[in-house]
Amino acid sequence: MYVPFDELPEESRVWIYQANRSFTEQELDEIQSKLNVFLENWTAHGSDLQAGFTIKYKRFIVVGLNQNLNKATGCSIDACVHFIQQLEKEYRVDLMDKMNVSYKQGDFIAYKTLTDFKKMAKEKAVSKNTIVFNNLVTNIAEFNENWEVPASDSWHSRFIK
């Protein structure tokens, strides 16, 4: 059952899908509609899952699940991954590659391969103060506090001297 993302409890689990490009306004409208339908019908062994989503910076799809009501199962997680893969195909966008890095460059969101990000760190094109997106956060509380952070406060820090 769909609920607005901001109404989910802070301990709700999150999955972050980072796009390799920004979505257009039309794509955003369509994706939001598809997410509403998917989450409204998302279940685990026949039990409703209370879930919501938010889309940040026209490129991050964040799905939240209130596990206090019902926990996700392997099959329900697979269903969500399959849904995201369908979005990838339909919109010709990469959402599943976890080996890429997004960071802020002023008001712009940059997207680089991990190899390119490491090279930029070595060349000092990014620094410990560069705002990065830590897509490894696991719940809404972490998402709110530790998703958009200086590289020095994230796993990205290992690449910056």
* Domain parsing of the chain, residue ranges: 5-91, 100-159
Residue 108: predicted pLDDT: 92
pTM exceeds cut of 0.85: yes
Q: How far is CA 106 from the centre of its chain?
A: 20
Q: What is the pLDDT of residue 45?
A: 85
**What is the b/e burial string over 2-14, where b = at least 16 CB atoms within 10 angstroms of the residue's CB?**
bbebeebeeebbb
5-91 has which CATH code?
3.30.1360
Q: Quick one: which of 4, 113, 101 has its CA closest to 55?
A: 4
pLDDT value, residue 78: 95
| pLDDT at residue number 59 | 96
The pLDDT tens digits for 13-49 are 999 999 999 999 999 999 999 999 999 999 888 889 9
User: What pLDDT shows up at residue 117?
Assistant: 94
What is the structure's pLDDT at 144? 97
Contacts of 28 (CB under 8 A, 6+ apart): 55, 58
Q: Supply angle C-alpha 57, 62, 159, rounded to 5.
A: 70
pLDDT number for residue 79 = 95
pLDDT less than 70: residues of the chain:
none
